[in-house]
Structures are given as structure tokens and as C-alpha cells.
Amino acid sequence: MIRDGYSKNVDYLRNVMTHGKEMVAEIEVRTKESCGIKNIRVKYNRVFGYYIEVAKSQTDLVPQDWVRKQTTVNAERYINQELKDLEHTILSAKDQITDLEYQIFEQVRQCAADQVEQVQRTAAAVAQADVLTSLAAVAVHNHYCMPVVNESTDIEIVDGRHPVVEKVLKNTLFVPNDTKMDHHDNLAPTWRVSRLTCGR
């Protein structure tokens, strides 16, 4: 729901979900270097979660702050704080992302709601510009002209064309017509008629 790059926390959790194994492997390497146990292994099972497995012959090298989780025939299994924190992050990452994304969504929604009047004014202006641009494009394409409107009761159209009739005619010549209507002698339109068609 939230695009990459918007929230550092969301990006981090996504990285954990995608690269969790690599992060565990990095802990394994660092742990080997820090405590000097070469055959150390960081593993996972559903019962105990993540753990550090150390051969019994090397348990004397285990740091004091490690906590024993399980004893097996040949090894001891421990957990340290770094691995415990990573385990919690990995196992809860999906739920944390869901909660965090919704919180961010609510913040963005409220931000938009606070600006609703400005958004509506902008939308109306864009809609008006869209309509006018569309009308202008159609007028240029079809060679339409803008009528001159005044307060008189006369209607005078020279070479009038019906936009729909003109477009639906196929293989036929469309004939434009003049129209003049007023309160005097011109009470009805006059049509110029060709043999092929009559534009109305």
C-alpha cells in the first residue's frame, strides 16, 4: 500500500522479509569473529526459533551473556540479544508492516481530508480546463468557429453543420446550410438542398 522510499521503517521491514536469511548469515559471521568459535552455526526450528549451535567441545568459549535454549547429544544451543531481536523482527515483520502501512495510510488520508476544499477547487479547475481543451481540440480538428452571442432575438447561421450528421455520413457529401430566424419575415430556417443529402 505504501511505496518504497516513503517510510524508512517500512523499507527496513520489507528488507527483513526479503533478506532475512542473509541477515542471519551476517550475524553468524560476526559471532564467529567476536567469540572465536569457528564451527558455530545459526539455525532455526519451529519449536525454539533461531538459535546459535555450539559443539560441546567449545562451550567454554561461549560468552557469559548468551542464554542456553537446548542441549543435544553433541551440541548446546544458545540465544543472544542480537539474534533474539532479529528473530522478533523477522517473525513479526509481516504484521508490523500491515500495522505500520495502515497508520501511514491514515496519516495521508487525514492530510488529504484537511485540504479537501483546496483539492475540490483544484479538481474543478482541472475539469474545466479539460473540457475547454477538449472543445478547442475538436474545434480545430473540425474547423468549427465560435458563435457570436448577443441579446437580440435573431438567429443567423452561415454554412451551419450538424456535427453528428456530418460524421455519420459515409461516402456522401455533406452540404452545410444557412439559417436565419427573426421576428420579421424569417420565421423558419431556409435549407440549401443537394441531390445527395440534406444537412439538418
| Model confidence at 117: pLDDT above 90 | yes
Residue 156, beta-bridge partner list: 180
Predicted local confidence at residue 192, as pLDDT:
47
Percent of the chain with pLDDT over 90: 30
The dihedral formed by the CA atoms of 51, 43, 46 and 86, expressed in degrees to the nearest 10: 60
Nearest C-alpha neighbor of 175 from the set 161, 155, 189: 161
Number of residues that make up the chain: 200
| pLDDT number for residue 186 | 62
pLDDT (0 to 100) of residue 100: 94
Tens digits of residue pLDDT in 174-193? 889 998 888 777 665 554 44
> Cα(70)–Cα(172) distance, rounded to whole angstroms?
92
- Across 19-33, 103-117, 184-198, the highest mean pLDDT is recorded for 103-117
Residue 91 has a pLDDT of: 84
For residue 14, give the C-alpha cell.
Answer: 520489507
Of 79-83, 98-102, 131-135, give the lowest mean pLDDT range: 79-83
User: Residue 194 has what pLDDT?
Assistant: 40
- Which pTM does this prediction carry? 0.46
Instruction: Give the H or E element holding residue 75.
Output: strand 75-79
Residue 5: its pLDDT value, please?
A: 92
User: If pLDDT is split at 50, 70 and 90, which confidence band does 31 have?
Assistant: confident
Cell numbers placing 36: 572465536
pLDDT exceeds cutoff 80 at 196? no
Q: Round the average pLDDT of the chain to a whole number and report it.
A: 86
Torsion of CA 12, 17, 19, 23, to 10 degrees: 70
Say how far apart CA 191 and CA 174 lie, in whole Å: 13
Structure confidence at residue 124 as a pLDDT band (50, 70, 90): very high
pLDDT tens column, 59-93: 888 888 899 988 988 899 999 998 888 888 888 88
Q: How many angstroms separate the Cα of 51 from the Cα of each of 3, 27, 67?
A: 34, 11, 10
* Vertex 169: Cα angle to 166 and 172 (nearest 5): 105
Which run of H or of E encompasses 77?
strand 75-79
pLDDT attached to residue 189:
53
